[in-house]
């Protein structure tokens, strides 16, 4: 990244080392932020503004244009190669993407789906094996759910692809060739597998290195985090139980990512007026490790999420008065408040970087119509540095 020289080691400061006043201000903003709840569920609509990284590069999805009008909102996909500081527009062409985009990234390949909008009743898919330089169409006979991890793809395993459809009611599976789709599992069929969870809907999907499917769900209570995998033809719960003040919480999985042997999940939990975000990590089929809860109030808006190749997470929260707060976390570390993000920030990303860098880079993306500006977090992690500006041509009025 432009905020540091590849190969150098950058110490990761802990929040306890920050000036007391700065910590108090940032945590005060977090306490003032609010998460909109939905009837019968724990927390928020997971934002489509999201980013994921693999060992071959990083991808970020964000909206541009007139964001107050869906017909003039154009969702875009940007990519940065491994170790690069430059993001390039690689949105699949030919389909109106006003409803949003979701992506399943694999090593060397990516599968992107367009969400239904207006007269588009299904989700066209596009696959690229050259970093988005060229795309090939893939047919999905349904509409994808509005979830950042509604699509998972592993080109190098027999797992193929998984797609969440029907608003989270069902998941379909396809072989690596993506030649056909068949039913994989439904929310209804998972309920008896874990009665304590009380499955509400499918929240996210991923593919393990073995090719086995991984499905995350919302849970009605019990502090259960709904994660399921299929072994020898039958589904088994492989989730986690929250404790402490979140014991008995309703939960929703906002992100689910598999990179190498590490599985990462970002969970939103709610109980008796207590609301929090919890990060979970697991190596292979071992036990989950949970972060300390990041407490928020009932009306915080999760604006954007990002997952790195190492399983680190970054979250952009919207607060009252239009203010935003960004935090990040890596396995075994506390949630860390970041400097106040630039005005009009729509998304965060954690670009893939050489393994010798021990502090994960973070980029912030600001949008003003067709203008995109990228800011990188400085190596000292105390300020955002402008590193890129781009003008994206948008066909206003083309979707009316």
pLDDT tens column, 97-144: 999 999 999 888 999 999 998 878 899 999 999 999 999 999 999 999
Work out the number of other CB atoms within 10 angstroms of the CB of residue 279: 26
Domain total of the chain: 1
Q: Contact, 171 vs 202, CB < 8 A? A: yes
Domain contains 10: no
Cα-trace Rg, the chain:
20
The Cα 174–Cα 142 span in angstroms is: 13
Task: Pick the closest to residue 110 from 158, 165, 148, 54 (CA basis).
Answer: 54
pLDDT recorded at residue 256? 98
The pLDDT tens digits for 331-367 are 989 999 999 999 999 999 999 876 545 678 999 999 9
Query: Is it the case that residue 227 has pLDDT exceeding 50?
Result: yes
Cα 196 to Cα 241: distance, rounded to the nearest angstrom: 10
Token pair belonging to 32: 């003032």
Are 29 and 316 a contacting pair, CB within 8 Å? no
The pLDDT value recorded for residue 306 is 97
Is 346 within a domain? yes
Q: Is 4 contained in some domain? A: no
Q: What is the pLDDT of residues 155-167, one digit of tens each?
A: 877 779 999 999 9
Q: For residues 75-89, give the mean pLDDT.
A: 93
Helix (H) or strand (E) segment spanning residue 23: helix 20-32
What is the SS3 assignment for 380? coil
Tell me which residue of 48, 97, 102 sits closest to 71, measured CA to CA: 97
How many whole angstroms separate alpha carbon 180 and alpha carbon 141?
9
What's the CATH number where 374 sits?
A: 2.120.10.30
* 18 band by pLDDT with thresholds 50, 70 and 90: very low
- pLDDT band for position 95 (cuts 50, 70, 90): confident
Place of tokens 């030919």: 94
- The answer to whether residue 2 is domain-embedded is no
Q: Tell me what pLDDT residue 128 has.
A: 96
pLDDT at 148 over 90: yes
The pLDDT tens digits for 36-61 are 334 344 346 799 999 999 888 999 99
Please give the biggest Cα pair distance in the chain: 57
Place of tokens 């980013």: 51
Residue 374 maps to a domain:
yes
Residue whose token pair is 């393994």: 355
The pTM for the full model equals 0.88
> How long is the chain?
400
Residue ranges making up the domain that contains 104: 15-391
Q: Which two tokens stand for residue 193?
A: 């597998």
CA angle 293, 297, 300 (to 5 degrees): 100
Asked whether residue 398 is assigned to any structural domain, the reply reads no
| Residue 248 resides in a domain | yes
Q: How far is CA 62 from the centre of its chain?
A: 12
| Mean pLDDT, range 298-323, rounded to an integer | 87
Instruction: Note the pLDDT of residue 396.
Output: 85
Residue 91 lies in a domain: yes
Smallest CA-to-CA distance from 333 within 54, 12, 22 is with 12
Which DSSP symbol is given to 192? G
Question: Contact, 296 vs 343, CB < 8 A?
Answer: no
Helix, strand or coil, per DSSP, at residue 188: helix
Nearest-angstrom CA–CA distance, 48 and 101: 7
Beta strands in 9-100 (DSSP E): 50-54, 57-65, 73-81, 88-89
């Amino acid at each position: 990244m432009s905020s540091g020289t590849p190969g150098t080691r950058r110490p990761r400061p802990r929040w306890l080392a920050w000036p007391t006043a700065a910590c108090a201000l940032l945590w005060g903003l977090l306490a003032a932020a609010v998460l909109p709840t939905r009837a019968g569920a724990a927390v928020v609509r997971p934002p489509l503004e999201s980013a994921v990284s693999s060992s071959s590069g990083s991808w970020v999805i964000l909206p541009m244009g007139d964001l107050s009008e869906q017909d003039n909102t154009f969702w875009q996909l940007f990519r940065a190669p491994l170790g690069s500081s430059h993001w390039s527009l690689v949105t699949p062409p030919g389909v109106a993407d006003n409803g949003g985009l979701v992506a399943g990234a694999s090593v060397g390949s990516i599968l992107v789906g367009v969400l239904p909008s207006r007269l588009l009743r299904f989700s066209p898919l596009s696959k690229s094996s050259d970093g988005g330089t060229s795309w090939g169409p893939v047919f999905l006979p349904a509409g994808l759910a509005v979830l950042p991890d509604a699509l998972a793809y592993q080109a190098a395993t027999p797992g193929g692809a998984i797609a969440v459809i029907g608003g989270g009611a069902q998941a379909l599976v396809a072989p690596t060739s993506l030649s056909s789709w068949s039913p994989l599992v439904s929310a209804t069929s998972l309920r008896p597998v874990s009665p304590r969870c009380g499955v509400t809907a499918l929240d996210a999907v991923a593919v393990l290195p073995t090719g086995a499917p991984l499905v995350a769900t919302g849970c009605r209570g019990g502090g259960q985090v709904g994660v399921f995998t299929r072994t020898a033809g039958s589904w088994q719960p492989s989730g986690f139980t929250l404790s402490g003040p979140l014991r008995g919480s309703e939960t929703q999985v906002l992100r689910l990512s598999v990179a190498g042997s590490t599985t990462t999940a970002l969970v939103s939990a709610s109980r008796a007026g207590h609301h929090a975000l919890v990060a979970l990590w697991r190596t292979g089929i071992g036990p989950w490790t949970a972060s300390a809860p990041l407490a928020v109030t009932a009306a915080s808006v999760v604006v954007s999420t990002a997952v790195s190749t190492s399983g680190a997470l970054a979250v952009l929260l919207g607060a009252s008065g239009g203010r935003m707060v960004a935090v990040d976390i890596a396995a075994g570390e506390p949630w860390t408040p970041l400097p106040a993000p630039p005005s009009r920030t729509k998304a965060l990303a954690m670009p893939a970087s050489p393994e010798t860098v021990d502090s994960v880079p973070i980029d912030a993306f600001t949008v003003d119509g067709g203008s995109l500006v990228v800011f990188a977090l400085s190596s000292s992690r105390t300020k955002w540095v402008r590193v890129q500006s781009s003008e994206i041509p948008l066909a206003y009025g083309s979707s009316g």
